[in-house]
Amino acid sequence: MPGPGMEMIGEEEKKALLEVIESGYIYRYGDPKDPRFKRKVWQFEQDFMKYSGAKYAVAVNSGTSALMAGLWALGVGPGDEVIVPGYTFVASMSAIIYARAIPILAEIDESLTLDPADVKKKITPRTKAIMQVHMLGNPGWISEIQKIAKEKNIYFIEDACQAMGATYKGRPVGTYGDFGAFSFNVYKTITGGDGGMLITDKEDTYKRAFAVHDQGHLPLRQGVEQGNRTVLGVDFRMTEFTGAVLGAQLKKMPTIIQKMKDNKKRLKSIISNIKDITFRKLPDPDGETGSLLTFIMPTVESAAKLGKKLGCGVVAQSGWHVYNNMEHLLGKMTVTKEGCPFTCPYYKGGEVKYTKGMLPRTDDILKRAINISIGVVDAGLGSSFGVNVKSTLQEVDEVGKKLRAAIIECLK
């Protein structure tokens, strides 16, 4: 099964879904005076605000929608550059491109998240925002990236789609940026099949994001609408079914994270004294969700051998999570000022090209990195080998033994 949330679907989700069916209200809006209307989406937003500490939350139909609504709400648009890591799911780039802005790819470091030093080098007078991506259940270098954004007076955006439940310096990720985006697809910490959330502390960003996600309406469609809508929105709304499942899943999150952390600690301890492998750097080791264990082999050759032996490949091969594998961004979708389907005609920065090998440090790290599943079994992420959230410690030990033997053999 793909992710930990999906693995934990059970009676609670069933009950919540039945409540929606029996209520007759399957859409986020209904008659507030009717006791049958359970307001599942609204309730999930309230619960999410309580969990995260954010002042505002907008539930949407996917993580991609959360990123798009947030970018549009901030006014990121034609001609703007947004710095984004070359290692992230393609949706981070798509959201920027659909805002008619230009993704500027930056290097990662051994944390497998944005390298602050390279971000600094990529800033130009056209930079409007930095999108930090908390990859593989771990926060990135939040303080460092936030500091750069503050100094340059640009937006700081957190793509926390892979890190629901992670914290940084004791605070949930997603609460540091101008907005934070979360995904609830089937590979994520909690899931509703699909779904997303945008959080922010800024009222105007909230109002605009809400309007974008719901055809230009004011929050909860309260107050004057017709004749006074200033935002041309779309429909990214979450249904009551999704809200119901996610409400039940959110309650399970502490158990999910504890289990992943315990299993990860155990698995890591089995391989931790192997000389020559290094573990991914963790900007806040206490704040991880524990969904994956990532380590770096000393050479590209030994990593390739190990990836083949385990059947999961190296991280560089992981689907649309690596810029080198985004064929729709490379070549066919080369952004030039002359134009292509998503080109911004207002762009003043000359030609921007995305080419294989343009981020050598990212390439080197990812060619030597191996992702082991602790709770996210996803071939597209290079984590088809490992355990899942329901694995017992005995099962973890067995997988750990196999992994240890394989690493040692491939280091010979």
User: Where do contacts with ligand PLP occur on this chain (CB under 6 A)?
Assistant: 62-64, 88-89, 91-92, 133, 159, 161-162, 183, 185, 194, 196
Give the Å distances, CA to CA, from 103 to 97, 288, 329, 339, 383: 7, 27, 10, 15, 27
Least distance between ligand PLP and beta carbon 108 (Å)? 12
Q: How many CA atoms lie within 13 A of 128 on its CB side?
A: 18
- Residues sharing a CB contact under 8 Å with residue 145, sequence separation 6 or more, in sequence order: 114, 116, 119, 130, 132, 156
As a whole number of angstroms, the distance between CA 404 and CA 264 comes to 14
Least distance between ligand PLP and beta carbon 121 (Å)? 23
Find the residue with minimal CB distance to ligand PLP.
63
Least distance between ligand PLP and beta carbon 64 (Å)? 3
Least distance between ligand PLP and beta carbon 125 (Å)? 27
Q: Which is nearer to ligand PLP, 159 or 363 (CB)?
A: 159
Least Cα distance to 300 among 316, 311, 319 occurs for 316
Strand partners, 270: none
Q: Which is nearer to ligand PLP, 101 or 304 (CB)?
A: 101
* Residues 101/94, Cβ–Cβ less than 8 Å: no
Q: What are phi and psi of 369, to 5 degrees?
A: -95, 145
Neighbours of 153 (CB within 10 A): 7
- Residues sharing a CB contact under 8 Å with residue 407, sequence separation 6 or more, in sequence order: 271, 274, 277, 297, 306
Q: Which is nearer to ligand PLP, 64 or 175 (CB)?
A: 64
Residues written for the chain: 412
Q: Which is nearer to ligand PLP, 23 or 318 (CB)?
A: 318
Q: Which is nearer to ligand PLP, 163 or 306 (CB)?
A: 163
Least distance between ligand PLP and beta carbon 185 (Å)? 4
Least distance between ligand PLP and beta carbon 319 (Å)? 10
Q: Which is nearer to ligand PLP, 89 or 241 (CB)?
A: 89
Q: Which is nearer to ligand PLP, 91 or 244 (CB)?
A: 91
Q: Burial letters for 260-276: b for 16+ Cβ neighbours within 10 Å, e otherwise? A: bbebbebbbebbeeeee
* Residues 195/188, Cβ–Cβ less than 8 Å: no
Q: Which is nearer to ligand PLP, 196 or 243 (CB)?
A: 196
Least distance between ligand PLP and beta carbon 57 (Å)? 16
Least distance between ligand PLP and beta carbon 94 (Å)? 9
Least Cα distance to 213 among 165, 247, 246, 179 occurs for 179
